[in-house]
Homo-oligomer: A and B are copies of this chain.
Amino acid sequence: MKEVKSRYEIFRQKAHIIIYGTNTVAGRLFDLILLGLILLSVLLVMLETVEGFDIKFHKQLVLLEWIITVFFSIEYILRIICIDKPKRYIFSFYGIIDLLAILPMYLSYFFAGSNLLMIIRALRLLRLFKILNHPHFSGQSLQLKNSLIASRGKIVAFIYFILISCILIGSLMYVVEGKEAGFTSIPISIYWCIVTLTTVGFGDITPTTPLGQFIASIVMIMGYGIIAVPTGIVTAEIAKSEFKRGLQTKRHHCMNCGKDDHSENSKFCYHCGNELDEHS
């Protein structure tokens, strides 16, 4: 009995290394195959909606989807089995995505059309970032993430301000242009204003009166100019974090108190006053 358990233990450990590890050849290969299957699976869901394609290859598509779903199901169960704290995985971001990626196919057995939900599998593609677990890459991602988090407040305030402007300008355009030009209601006019301000410019609704075109011109120049604001915010934030990183490059390590974020030309620890060693 004990031997069986230990065999199971060995299997768990091996599976853990293959599924969660990225340093061994087997682990890396597993990750690549998984990523390939996710990609294939996303492609299949897309192709299923292309009419000409679906009619010709419907059976093959469904078969492939079932094969991939079964593979993903086994992978999901193994992930739970071979980890020490399964709850932590199950309720993590990737754990929930992994579950949501297999459920729709089984649901499609009961509800037709629910297999479209399988597109959620696209979120599994984010695993690539986990696979690319290179310290250099992670550092850059983290830096970018921190910059975006730091500038979050300003960006939200900016968007809030933009939306209030769009409500006011949209209403104005509704009054100026009227229903004939396509500005059939204030919500539609606000939609037009967003389309214009963000410089997308679909052209499905366009002003036709001179006054409307004049207001539209102002909106466009506004949109062209104020894109500088989010760009400026994010750039300044990235530049700042880049600058900080630059200062930390030659990290002196204090032998006395352990602080290591001394600036490049420091001779003494800023924290305890201990003299810093050149090569530490």
Contact = CB atoms under 8 A, between A and B. Distances in A.
A147 B35 CA distance: 30
A177 to B, nearest CB: 12
Interface string A138-173: 001100100110000111011110101001100100
Interface stretch (A16-24, A63-71, A88-96, A234-242): A234-242
A213 B210 CA distance: 24
Contacts of A123: 164, 168
A159 B221 contact: yes
A223 B198 contact: yes
A220 interface: yes
Contacts of A265: 270-271
A3 interface: no
B233 A231 contact: no
A46 interface: yes
A207 to B, nearest CB: 9
A15 interface: no
B225 A159 contact: yes
A77 interface: no
Interface in A235-280: 235-240, 242-243, 246, 262-263, 265-275
A72 interface: no
Main secondary structure of the interface of A (DSSP, over half): helix
Interface stretch (A4-12, A78-86, A185-193): A185-193
Interface string A7-42: 000000000000000000000000000000000001
A202 B199 contact: no
A74 interface: no
A206 interface: yes
A89 B210 CA distance: 38
Nearest to A247: B263
A236 B239 contact: yes
A45 interface: yes
A229 interface: yes
17 contacts: A46-B185, A49-B187, A119-B168, A119-B171, A119-B186, A123-B164, A125-B160, A187-B210, A191-B217, A198-B223, A202-B206, A236-B239, A263-B263, A268-B268, A268-B272, A268-B273, A273-B275
Given A147-B232, A267-B273, A273-B274, 19 more contacts: A49-B185, A50-B186, A119-B167, A122-B168, A141-B154, A144-B158, A191-B213, A191-B216, A196-B200, A198-B220, A198-B223, A199-B200, A236-B242, A239-B239, A262-B270, A266-B271, A267-B270, A268-B268, A268-B273
